[in-house]
Amino acid sequence: MNNFFSNKKFGIVYNPIVKNSSEVLFALETLLNSKNLSYEKFTIDSMRAGVDFVFVIGGDGTLLKTARFYSKEFTPVFGINLGRLGFLSQSNECDLAKSIDKILNNKYKIEDRMMLVSNDGVLALNDFVIKGASASRTSRFYLSIDGKFVCDYLADGLIVSTPTGSTAYGLSAGGPVLSPSLNAISIIPICPHTLTARPLVIPSSEKITISTCDTCTSFIVVADGQDSFNVNSKIEIEKSKFSAKLALLDDNEFYSVIRNKLHWGVAPIGVQ
């Protein structure tokens, strides 16, 4: 076992409403106890600082919330997937013992993943989704970058995404897949009412401002599909000074993940 962990404390964050979370929590505790390792456990709504490495039991949503919280503590997080796709997670219930051994034997790496922050201080690891206050109609959004007007969109909304989030809602809306090592931000219109609106990829050093027309008093912003808030007239989004620290197993690099979980580049069945 890596001596680094002998004097460290693990954290376990679990989502009690996710199916099988109690069983996986018990199995993980049993493994850590068998190796005489110190740990503390929290529900997703009771996380606290003071641990050195965090195991996250749940789906991608649980991992996103945990990663945002511990980014300010510079603490790495490791996902154990109990959800559907589990794109950010590195292990599952069946491979738990094997994955823990890899962690303890230093067969993993820590990736810093870029995050976004709004002018209200809200963090997003995947994306911000901006929509009009009325869900029954399209809205007009004005986009400026570094104080310079770019264009306006008549659309259901806009997605402002990190490279990590490019395989989430942005992908479904026709946005590009970006390698997580890139320092870039993608801006993707949702169902634009025009044939000329296309996704835009910009450097992460640039600040994005999105505003509405004079007759629209507010719009809705959702961070990582979880934190929803109303914004009056405009929102500013830029790269955060904090980054999420994801613990990744050595054999789970980005391109194998999109190939295995998204079936990227796999020929249809029957095609030779």
95 is catalytic: no
Burial of 38 (0-12, 13-18, 19+ CB in 10 A): middle
| Residue 194, helix vs strand vs coil | coil
Of the CA atoms within 13 Å of residue 218, those in its CB half-sphere come to 7
Distance CA 183, CA 114 (A): 7
Burial of 251 (0-12, 13-18, 19+ CB in 10 A): exposed
Among 52, 60, 120, 152, the active-site one is: 60
Q: In angstroms, what CA-CA distances link 105 with 102, 125, 250?
A: 5, 28, 11
Helices 21-34, 96-104: inter-axial angle, 10-degree rounding: 40
Report the catalytic residues: 60
